[in-house]
Structures are given as structure tokens and as C-alpha cells.
Chains A and B, each alone.
Chain A
Amino acid sequence: MNAMIQRYLRSILVVAAALTLLRCGSSPNSPSGAGAKLQGVVLQDATARAQSLAQSAQSGKMTVTVQEDPTLTVTVSGNGTFEIQGVPAGGFTLVFSLNGTTIGQIRITAVAEGTTIKIVVKVAGQEVELVEIETEDADEPPTAGTGGSGGSGGTGDGGAKTCMIEGGKVGSNIELEGNVESGGSSQFRLRVNGNRSSGLVDVSASGASYKCNGNKGNSDCKANLRSGAKVHVRGNLTTCSTSAASVTATEVMIQKD
């Protein structure tokens, strides 16, 4: 009888060890497929999280869903990490939900096939803010490194003189200053000061934080973004050619008139 129990225990241990090794080498929670890979970290503000939890009877389970393909949904782990494989090339919107309630969205544009997009997101209360975005081209060794803050994924081209923005490199962080030509707070076209850019730059700012210079209460700051407004954009250059460029902004600072 004792020997039988020992045999059962050994079998259980062998199965447990096999499962451990299996999980070490893969991430079964990550939907996979063609397209690009997204890796992210959610940093939750402690006080804001407590408020969010107080509003909810359930535990604060956060999920991230690709709006264009809701089957691509993952749960954010305890340390804030998540990974989605097979996000649509071109662009997609990430929907962040806490206990099933949407708390924010981030739009990522100009995503090339096979790239790895790395984002850092801050959740404060009911707001989701994109803090960092970095793109790693599948064909390039991952030497781009980390650091800096920026906008959204890019195609990671070779960086030859094919970009209309002086010094612009796809996938890298960029800061631009200029005037809003058209659009609203989530998407606008920017006329860059001086001769730095030969054309208008498309700015995706749905996940950006807004600051208004000289205006302490920045709750209505976004409303100040209108045609002609002077802005400073900090983000990531996602695409750039000789005729068009797009930036995903992490921060938009609206200057005083």
C-alpha cells in the first residue's frame, strides 16, 4: 500500500516537473499568430489602484484586448507584464479593462510585420497613459536598446536618407515643435517649425499625456488643442518617408499663445 502511494506521488512529481519545464519555455497565455508581437508592462499607481479596487467588488483583474481582434486578449500578470502575439500589422488599438470595465485605450500605428513592440503603460485611476514605446525589428539584432520615452511602433527601416524629418529615425524617440495644422486631441497634423520637416507630420496622441504651459489645472488641457496651437510633441517616430511621417506621442505640451 505504502509502495503504491509512493508510486502515485512519484508520478505526480514527474508530471509537475514536466509542466514546470513546459511553462518555462513558452507563454500559453499569449495568443499567437502572424503580424507583430507586443510586450508590455503596466505600472499601476498605488493610490489610484486602491481607488479603482474600492469601486469594484471584485479583484482588480486587468485585461488588454486588441480592439480589431477581440480574441487577442490577455490578462496582465501580477508584476504587470503582458504579451500578445499576432497583433495586426499596420496598426491597432489596445483596450485596457479593469474587472471588465474599460479604463483606457492606446492606439498604435504603423506597425510592420514581424516587429516586436515594447510598451510601458501607466495606469492612474481611470486613465491609461503610454509612457514608453520601442520597436524592435525582427530582421535586426535587438541592439536598439532601451531608454528614452516616445510614441509608438514603427517600421524600423534602415535609417537611410529617406525620411522627410531631419535627423528622424524610424523606431526612435523624437521631439518636435510646431503648430497644429488640423485635427483634434487624439490625432492631428503638425507643421514642424523651421525647415526640419519638408511636410506635415501625422501625430497620434490618443495615449499621450497632455500638459498646458501656464495652466496648472490640466483637466481641460486637451480642449486647448486646436488648429494653430503651438505644441511640443514628444514621442516615437513610427513611419517616415520623403513625403509622409507619423509620430505616436507620449506627451503633448501645448504652449501658451
Chain B
Amino acid sequence: MRLGWIVGAVLLMVPVPARSAPAPRPRPRPAPPAYEAGPDVFASYSFLRAGEASLHGADVSASFHFRRAWRLTADLSLHSGSFAGADLTQTNLMGGLRRVFRPGRRWQPFGQALLGGSHSSSTFESVDGPLHSSQTSWGGALGAGVDYRLTPRWALRGQGDYLLLHSSTGGDADPRVSVGVVYRFAR
């Protein structure tokens, strides 16, 4: 208790500067490692819940270093499946920005926002011949994922996106989950 009073008195006697000392200047960020700054490609198995249908397919994407932890991303996914006897396919092509949160670490989470379009088609083989219907939608996707670095070049990636699409028949919000491998090129 007595010690506390002494510490308090000493603190009160310390002269307070008229202006607070200037904050230390942030150190310049180190340049990202060569493989972090180079482009990467991602190939994966992908699941898409399109409307009420569960579709399976592939998702491929490429990203390029933009600035600091931001990357430009292009993403193409193709899915197919069946629902109530009809065959469904959906193709999504989008591009946008990705924010990487822990560049250079083994676990590397990221978030991304994409804009683009989607084309879906439904076909039913009736006795009178095939019936076909198709739809083009516009919108984007918000997503997040994580890379697990195996080697400087190779990584495993899991990502989830929410496709927010609008067409003449209204809006859809379809989740997509992809799991695959990433290959990073040196800058």
C-alpha cells in the first residue's frame, strides 16, 4: 500500500510535455516474398447450391499481385447436376479483388469480392424431344477462404462464396464451396 503511494507521487512529479511526443514512424513494410508477389492459379472441386439444386463441378481461378496485400482475381466455375428429372448446368465467370491477411505465413486467410455473370441452363428429355430453358444473370460474389502452404509454390485452399445474382426472374443467393490446390509462380 505504501509502495503504491510512492509510485503515485513519483508519477505526478514526472513533467508532462506540452505536446505529446511524435509517434514513431511506421517501419516500411518488407517486400512480400517472391512467391507471394507472383501470380497464382487455383484448381478445385466445387459444390454449388443453385436455387434448390445441388450442383457439382470445378472452379478455377487466377490471381495477380495488385498492391500490398491486395490481389486481382479472375474466377471461372462450371457446375452440373439434376433436379426433379431435369439436367442443370451453370457457368459463372467473375473477377474482382482479394485481400490476403497473413501473407507469407503457412495459414493464409483471405476474403474476396467479385463481379461478373452467370449462365444457367435446364434441359429435360421428354418423349416429344428435349425441352430447354436458359437464363443469364448478373451480379457478384462475396467469399472467404484459407490457403495452407505446403511448399513455397504449392498450397491447399478451401474457400466459400456467396453468389448474389440477379436475372429477369429475380434475385438468387447461392452458396459455393471449393476445395483444391494452388500453384504460385515466382514474380
Give the distance in Å from the alpha carbon of A163 to the alpha carbon of B160 in the complex: 51
29 contacts between A and B (CB under 8 A): A9-B111, A10-B109, A13-B109, A20-B161, A21-B160, A21-B177, A23-B162, A23-B173, A24-B49, A24-B175, A30-B52, A39-B52, A43-B86, A59-B168, A75-B170, A77-B52, A78-B137, A78-B165, A79-B53, A79-B120, A79-B121, A81-B50, A81-B83, A81-B84, A81-B122, A120-B124, A131-B131, A147-B85, A149-B127
List chain B residues, Cβ under 8 A from A21: 160, 175, 177
Who on chain B is nearest to A131 by CB? B126
> B95-117: which residues lie under 8 A (CB-CB) from chain A?
99, 101, 109, 111
Who on chain B is nearest to A53 by CB? B168
Verify if B132 is at the interface (C-beta below 8 Å from A). yes
Verify if B57 is at the interface (C-beta below 8 Å from A). no
With known contacts A43-B122, A149-B127, A79–B51 Cβ distance under 8 A: yes
> A119-140: which residues lie under 8 A (CB-CB) from chain B?
119-120, 122, 131-132, 134
In the complex, which of the residues B88, B109, B132, B142 contacts A79, with contact meaning CB atoms closer than 8 Å? B88
B: residues with CB less than 8 A from A are 47, 49-53, 82-86, 88, 90, 99, 101, 109, 111, 118, 120-122, 124-128, 131-135, 137, 142-144, 160-162, 165, 167-170, 172-177
In the complex, which of the residues B86, B109, B175 contacts A41, with contact meaning CB atoms closer than 8 Å? B86
Give the distance in Å from the alpha carbon of A43 to the alpha carbon of B109 in the complex: 40
Per DSSP, chain B at the interface is strand
A44 to chain B, nearest CB (A): 5
A-B contact count (CB 8 A): 150
List chain A residues, Cβ under 8 A from B160: 16-17, 20-21
Give the distance in Å from the alpha carbon of A14 to the alpha carbon of B53 in the complex: 25
Verify if A193 is at the interface (C-beta below 8 Å from B). no
Verify if A27 is at the interface (C-beta below 8 Å from B). yes
List chain A residues, Cβ under 8 A from B99: 9
Give the distance in Å from the alpha carbon of A61 to the alpha carbon of B134 in the complex: 15
A: residues with CB less than 8 A from B are 6, 9-10, 12-14, 16-17, 19-21, 23-24, 27, 29-30, 39-46, 49, 53, 59-62, 75-83, 118-120, 122, 131-132, 134, 146-149, 234
Cβ–Cβ contact B52 & A27, under 8 A: yes
List 16 additional A-B contacts (Cβ < 8 Å) besides A46-B134, A120-B131. Answer: A19-B175, A20-B175, A29-B52, A39-B83, A41-B84, A44-B169, A59-B169, A60-B169, A78-B118, A81-B53, A120-B124, A120-B126, A134-B84, A134-B85, A148-B127, A234-B127
Instruction: Give the residue among A29, A40, A78, A80 with the most B Cβ atoms within 10 A.
Output: A78
